[in-house]
Structure 1
Amino acid sequence: MTLTRRPKRKSELEDEVFVKPTKTAVKNCVKLNISDVLAPIVFGIFLRLIAFAYFKEYLQDHVGFTAQWNSFRRLKDAIALWDQNGSLYADRFHGVPLLAVIFYPLVPQEYILRVLFISCDVIAAVALYKSAGFVCNEAAEVPEVGKRLLTMYLLNPLTVGVCAAMNTTVILNMALCVAFYFFVNKKLCMATILVCLASQLNIYYLQLLLPIVAARMIAQTKDKFNLALAAKQLGYKLIAFSLLYSINFLIANWNDVIRGNVFFFFTLEDYTPNMGMYWYLFSLIFVQYRLFFLVILHFLAFIHVFPLFKVFWTAPVGLWLIFLQMITLLSSYPTYAEFCLFLPLLTTIKAKQNSSVFFYFLVTLISLACSSSLITLQQWVQTGSGNANFFFGSGIAYLIGQAFLLRHTLKSLVDSLFYNSDFYKADQAPQFRFINIPILKKA
């Protein structure tokens, strides 16, 4: 068997994933009509006001809507200690000092805080809505896809609950949604800054720098992978993150910041239940050889990053979506907020009918798992009719659904990049299903 040299792509395939925005993309963006989405925005605000009025305390107590690192109650306690000349990290706070500075004058203003959290959700939804103009290849798809992205984020009951619980991940999600808009709009510098700021709240989101690196590589090297260029671009972005993160050292002691924020995600010293699996494993199973299992689990959480980057670097937006799902599945202290971030983007993947049915089945499974977690947590904590195993079972069902959703995304991306290409047949030019942005394909 002889292998022929990979032929040059045909002229119609020369448009790469990340090039200068075409007139079609700009035209699509201009045609977006905000009047079409006023009703979802108003209804989403109304749902959040009801949740704030009647369910705020319950949602703040539920471990699915808040975790150790994004709890607003812990932030308020840390600000109170800081106001008394104490340390921000003297109690249970695991955020960054910059967040405390932002919320310091707002803590006594309850209604202003509600407006702030609702506004963050609306800005995030509008950013996703505006992204449709750059995601879609056909102008006719823009209104439908834009409204789908907005409604899936703004009217998701889990997103409403996360907002009413005053989960600080709402701010992180807003930053990442705006970063995604800049990302698909080819404004990679702004996307890098926003990802670096969001990564201060959760260090796992540093993985999103790699899709931006891939976008920069495609703009400079087209279809040839350049390891030296990738390393240089990643180095620049890590330096930018370090400079932005060092602002926190001007507010609090650098040792306290690193130990209380960054190391918190890797040491797993807080066993408060959440929608992940690590709290259960390390509090009841991995009691001995704890350091060994810590290394193994974190190794599994990060070992996928560079292989995925090497394989899918020609599809930066698909890589962005995969990393969001990986973070939701493998992070130390997950909540529903991470799931709400990538779910709207999943609806933009065009697949076969059986795959679409499989996708909605998985979303239903995850919804049932979230609903059952409300019951099992109450049985365990309040009524005493259950135990930790009941709640952990709901969490495992939630994570299994996330894993199959990730499989759905990976399969769609693999098929789009390698099906009927010279990955299998050396005498055929690669035929990419995704043009411009690797999420949508004309049916």
Structure 2
Amino acid sequence: MPSLWKSNALGVIIRAWLFNSGFHDSLSDRVEISTPLNSWKRVIEGAYLRQRSQSPYEGDVFHETPTGLVFYTYLLKLNFNVLQAVFILCDVLTAFVLTEATRIFFQDIVKDQQNKKKTYHKDAKKITLKKEEVAKVPQYVTAAYLLNPYIVCSCVAMTTTVFANLILSLTLLAMAKKSRLLSTCCLAFASHQSFYPVMLVVPIAIATAKEKQLFKSVFLTISSFALFTALLLGFSYHSTGSWRFIESTYGCILKVPDLTPNIGLFWYFFTEMFDHFYLFFTYVFQLNPFIYVIPLAIRFDDNVPLLSFTLCAIMAIFKSYPSIGDVGFYLALLPLWNHLVPYFRHSFIVGCIFLVTSVLSPILWYLWIYTGSANANFFFATTLAFATAQIFLLTDVLFAQAKYDYHLKHGIDLKINGKEGMLVLE
């Protein structure tokens, strides 16, 4: 517990220092951090138009939902220092919620191994999880979230990703507690803001299903989620008086009309795209993250935490307007798979690419936009490498889990070319 409070205190101090050092303005303009969907400057513009009784959805500036607009309008009435404290508090709350969610998830993983102990190989006890590890992993998650540079920058830039991460963490906590009503309610808020979290309906249905009642759980989960979503859409219509907001929110997410550069894969590809191919490839790009849901759910139906982590990572990689705040969220969950580290194959390469691209991205942006000594290809190369590193990381985790499951059932003694071998675990 002392290390937990140290992480919390250090995370708060770092954020407060960066706010008071004037980093907010510079970070809020970074394309890796602020996108057309989460920029605080666009929120201020939308709230200003609303206060003047003008629709913020008539132009192409504001893309938040009416529900979010009402919330942000109240926030903007606060003193700026108080507003900064709200963002810091949201990050701390997210860390606490993720800590509790991972604690429950890890307990379930340990219990599941205890229940399946008879089906494991006799040598598997060397790699099975121990109950004393339950207390350590959540502390690592807290530190991984509060001290993550991606999350810190997102908070100091005051992006709305801070609130999106809080809602998403609440969804995971409710899922861990197997509360269908609460998890679908939180998921409705999360998908209402950024659409892509809708794919988490699948792990929620699996987590809340009773024995041999999966189809019933799927029906109840979808029905509950649809009800909460309908209520949010109804509130949005009531607050704006029209359905125009759908085109400016979900339409912007799905059609990708704003090609402002970001860390994603959409902007460069569609900048170069011929108009008559635009619609086709938009469908292809948008369907891409969703086609993995069912195969992953079939393969990891007995491992809801891993399935949820994987889908969060897929969202951060393949969404139309990603930011480093989205990446930092699922990276904070990596300590949950600490027991899989011996099976990782590309951790060093992935770490190096993350470090290099994080440093090169602002440099190449400066060379492209300000000095004119580079072009869009240079910046896109860093975003492409960054996405590749994330894909390598995700596949490393999935393959490591598959190897781990294999060794639990067949033991860690291996036969290599007909000879006895031993998997070395450090």
TM-score tier, shorter chain, comes to 0.7 to 0.9
Q: Give the 3 Å change call, closer, same or farther, for CA 367–216 of structure 1 in structure 2.
A: same
Equivalent residue for 1:146, pick from 138, 142, 154? 138
Q: Superposition RMSD on alpha carbons, in Å?
A: 2.3
TM-score w.r.t. the length of structure 1 is 0.82
Structure 2: 5+ residue runs without aligned partners? Answer: 111-129, 411-424
Partner of 1:68: 36
Letter in 2 for 1:312: F
> Which segment is superposed worse, 135-144 or 191-200?
135-144
> Conserved in 1, the CA contact under 8 Å of 2:191 and 2:198?
yes
Instruction: Tell me whether 1:95 sits opposite 2:64 in the alignment.
Output: yes
Q: How does 1:125-164 map to 2 (within 5 A)?
A: 125-134=95-104, 135-136=106-107, 137=110, 138-164=130-156
> Conserved in 1, the CA contact under 8 Å of 2:31 and 2:263?
yes
Q: Give the 3 Å change call, closer, same or farther, for CA 333–353 of structure 1 in structure 2.
A: closer
Q: Give the 3 Å change call, closer, same or farther, for CA 232–123 of structure 1 in structure 2.
A: closer
Letter in 2 for 1:172: A
SS in 2 for 1:105: helix
Instruction: Tell me whether 1:279 sits opposite 2:271 in the alignment.
Output: no
Instruction: Tell me whether 1:47 sits opposite 2:17 in the alignment.
Output: no
Q: Write the distance in 1 (CA, Å) between the matches of 2:347 and 2:201.
A: 27
1:265-289, Cα deviation, whole Å (9 max, x unpaired)? 1111001111111111111234441
In the TM superposition, residue 352 of structure 1 has moved relative to its aligned partner by: 5.4
Instruction: Tell me whether 1:120 sits opposite 2:90 in the alignment.
Output: yes
In the TM superposition, residue 186 of structure 1 has moved relative to its aligned partner by: 2.7
Instruction: Tell me whether 1:202 sits opposite 2:194 in the alignment.
Output: yes
Q: How does 1:312-323 map to 2 (within 5 A)?
A: 312-323=300-311
SS in 2 for 1:65: coil
Identity rate of aligned residues, in percent?
A: 26
> Conserved in 1, the CA contact under 8 Å of 2:98 and 2:169?
yes
Partner of 1:435: none
In the TM superposition, residue 364 of structure 1 has moved relative to its aligned partner by: 3.2
Q: Give the 3 Å change call, closer, same or farther, for CA 338–143 of structure 1 in structure 2.
A: same
Q: Write the distance in 2 (CA, Å) between the matches of 1:88 and 1:117.
A: 24
TM-score w.r.t. the length of structure 2 is 0.85
Instruction: Tell me whether 1:296 sits opposite 2:264 in the alignment.
Output: no
Partner of 1:340: 328
Q: Write the distance in 2 (CA, Å) between the matches of 1:352 and 1:144.
A: 15
> Conserved in 1, the CA contact under 8 Å of 2:36 and 2:260?
yes
In the TM superposition, residue 188 of structure 1 has moved relative to its aligned partner by: 3.4
Q: Write the distance in 1 (CA, Å) between the matches of 2:274 and 2:316.
A: 22
Q: Write the distance in 2 (CA, Å) between the matches of 1:252 and 1:397.
A: 41
In the TM superposition, residue 308 of structure 1 has moved relative to its aligned partner by: 2.2
Structure 1: 5+ residue runs without aligned partners? Answer: 1-32, 423-441
Q: Write the distance in 1 (CA, Å) between the matches of 2:303 and 2:194.
A: 24
Q: Give the 3 Å change call, closer, same or farther, for CA 107–346 of structure 1 in structure 2.
A: same
Q: Give the 3 Å change call, closer, same or farther, for CA 376–287 of structure 1 in structure 2.
A: farther
1:376-397, Cα deviation, whole Å (9 max, x unpaired)? 1111112222111111011001
> Which segment is superposed worse, 282-291 or 54-63?
282-291
